[in-house]
Amino acid sequence: MRLTPGPARDVDLDALDLFDLDLYSSGDPHPVWDVMRDRAPLHHQVLPDGREFWSVTRYEDVCRVLGDHREFTSERGTVPTHLGQDDVAAGVLLTSTDPPRHTEVRRPLGAKLTARAVRSWEESIRASVVRFLEPALDGEPFDLAERALLLPAIVTGPLLGIPSRDWEELVQLTAMVTAPSDRHFLLGSEAATLAIAHHELVTYVTDWVKRRRASGQEDDSLLQHLMSVRPGGAPLTDEEIALDGYSILLGANVTTPHTVSGTVQALMEHPEQFDKAQADPTLVPQLVEEGLRWTSAACNFMRYAVDDVHIAGGTIPAGGAVVAWIGSANRDASRFADPHTFDITRDNAKRHVAFGFGPHFCIGAPLARLTLRVFFEELLQRFASVEPAGEAQHLRSYFIAGMTHLPIAAQKRPTP
Q: Quick: pLDDT tens for 110-123.
A: 888 899 989 999 99
| Among 126-135, 163-172, 213-222, the range of highest mean pLDDT | 126-135
Evaluate if residue 391 carries a pLDDT over 90.
yes
Q: What is the mean pLDDT of the chain?
A: 92
Pick the closest to residue 229 from 211, 249, 243, 250 (CA basis).
Answer: 243
The beta strands (E) that lie in 27-162 are given as 42-46, 52-56, 72-73, 142-143
CA distance 177 to 196: 9
Radius of gyration of the chain (CA): 21
CA angle 40, 45, 48 (to 5 degrees): 155
Asked whether the whole model's pTM tops 0.85, one would answer yes
- CA-to-CA separations, 273 to 111, 345, 352, 407, in angstroms, rounded: 35, 9, 19, 20
Bond into 281 cis (ω within 30)? no
CATH architecture of 21-41+105-294+327-346+373-412: Orthogonal Bundle (1.10)
Backbone angles phi, psi at 198, to 5 degrees: -55, -50
Is the distance from CB of 376 to CB of 261 less than 8 angstroms? no
Q: Assign 31 to helix, strand or coil.
A: helix
Segment 133-138 mean pLDDT: 92
**Confidence class of residue 25 from pLDDT cuts 50, 70 and 90?**
very high
Torsion of CA 22, 23, 27, 30, to 10 degrees: -170
Q: Between these two residues, 158 and 337, which has the higher pLDDT value?
A: 337
Q: What is the mean pLDDT of residues 361-368?
A: 92
* pLDDT of the residue at 410: 94
Q: Where are the beta strands (DSSP E) in 98-162?
A: 142-143
CA gap 280, 84 in Å, rounded:
50
Report d(CA 278, CA 209) in Å as an integer. 44
For residue 4, is pLDDT > 80?
A: yes
Q: How many whole angstroms separate alpha carbon 121 and alpha carbon 123?
A: 6
* Angle of the 365-382 helix axis to the 271-279 helix axis, nearest 10: 90
Strands 383-388 and 407-412: antiparallel
Distance CA 78, CA 156 (A): 24
- Whether the Cβ atoms of residue 46 and residue 60 lie closer than 8 Å to each other: no
Highest average pLDDT, of 190-194, 246-250, 254-258, 329-333, comes from: 329-333
Does 415 have pLDDT greater than 80? no
Q: Of the candidates 20, 16, 22, 19, which has an alpha carbon nearest to the alpha carbon of residue 2?
A: 22
Residue 242 has a pLDDT of 85
**What is the C-alpha separation between 357 and 92, in angstroms, rounded?**
20
Q: How is residue 221 annotated by DSSP? A: -
Q: How confident is the model at residue 249 (pLDDT cuts 50, 70, 90)?
A: confident
Q: How confident is the model at residue 346 (pLDDT cuts 50, 70, 90)?
A: very high
> Within a 10 A sphere around the Cβ of 376, how many other Cβ atoms?
25
Percent of the chain with pLDDT over 70: 100
Beta-bridge partner residues of 411: 385
Q: What is the phi/psi pair of residue 314, to 5°? A: -145, -170
Backbone φ, ψ for residue 244 (5° rounding): -70, -35
Mean pLDDT over 191-215 rounds to 89
Delimit the domains of the chain by residue range. Answer: 21-41+105-294+327-346+373-412
Checking if the pLDDT of 337 tops 80, the result is: yes
